[in-house]
Structure 1
């Protein structure tokens, strides 16, 4: 689905705004940490970090927090060391679930996530149990209001740069690439002056499960509970995205 943001669901059905704000700051900080650890602390040469910092500023994460997180990630300031893990499992009604985990204690996180699955009628599974239902893609989002090109012209530029597809919804375009072409396509679009709202490697299901009513709510409750855990950075499912909105 075009324009999907991994930060979108954090506030989907939440009422306690202070808690939501603190949770969002935690996830934004960890995204900055991982980006800086992977590609260095300069946003001008590290696109992932540039996007993470811009997103953090848009959500009012204090500048001191941003600078301190980058310093920890690049080793100029001592701090907690995080690792990335991919968890897989099944939600209610056979919905496949994958999660990007960022943790400083994998044993604690595994126990917490297993408990969340069990509480909501699902099961945390073994490596590979559902990943075969997803494909790894590069996803580049361009907002229509910020782009002077038509959808056809943008698609032509993206395909020339090596993209596989362009999808659109009412507000945005989603340029899909193979993982190995992601950086080249992103850099080519940036060089052409096309404003990129977001660009990341993500997972896309190869097919979707249609649910409604109470069944859909049960899955959404699981997704929401997982997203509420500080160590769960992203949640991917094969639930029909129209239901998840």
Structure 2
């Protein structure tokens, strides 16, 4: 879990400055469609769909887009059949990478992802080569400056509501839950007026590698950004931390 917030903060700051709204819409629409296909089109009865819709609203996706994505998933509208795949590999510095993919053509996606790894000093590995280093967890990131209650009070509330752990990372508090408890903890805290900078179910590394060279950090971030920009990549997870003095030099 260590260092997750620092990478998340870099990623979210980047997201605020880059104009990638179209790609964001596409990725979330795929997530909505897959959730609707596997669990039905009613968000009240499908927690994965409810979470995907919440993400869509966070990025201001129009309601028509959300409805269309749900109908594609339930089969009410024709669409390509999306296959979910997990790819695993390594970035520079021995950093483990996990990718969640949603593609309509595996034979196109696999060589493209392999090319992105090799082009950016990484290696696409075999299934299972790094997945054992990660656990699926719910992660809620709160900016301390936005809190309307004391830090310790929030920590106690989160634990009472079912959170597994609360970690303090400089300007942020990171609440970790079991995937099954994620939405109930999130929605309960929102009822207390808590706002989240990030909220998702993620593959969280058990341990992380600290990167202390600017050049290596730059290579890792370049690879991750290239992977995130690929249309079939839904999520990228990695097990590295960046000390503050390295972040300042990036």
Q: Classify the TM-score, shorter chain.
A: 0.7 to 0.9
SS in 2 for 1:100: strand
SS in 2 for 1:102: strand
| 1:198-209 map, 5 Å | 198-209=198-209
Q: How many equivalent residue pairs? A: 240
Aligned to 1:49: 49
Structure 2, unmatched stretches of 5+, are none
Aligned to 2:239: 238
* Separation of aligned partners in 2, 1:184 and 1:57: 18
1:97 Cα offset (Å): 0.6
SS in 2 for 1:52: helix
TM-score (norm. length: structure 2): 0.80
**Superposed CA offset, 1:25-83 (max 9, x none):** 21121222233334433445545434433443443433322211111112222212212
Q: Relative to 1, partners in 2 of residues 1:214 and 1:114: Cα closer, same or farther, differing over 3 Å?
A: same
Structure 1, unmatched stretches of 5+, are none
1:158 Cα offset (Å): 1.9
Aligned to 2:123: 123
1:23 Cα offset (Å): 1.8
TM-score (norm. length: structure 1): 0.81
SS in 1 for 2:99: strand
* Separation of aligned partners in 2, 1:39 and 1:218: 39
CA RMSD after TM alignment: 3.1
Moved more, 59-68 or 121-130: 59-68
1:180 Cα offset (Å): 4.7
* Separation of aligned partners in 2, 1:48 and 1:196: 20
Runs of 4+ deviating beyond 6 Å: none
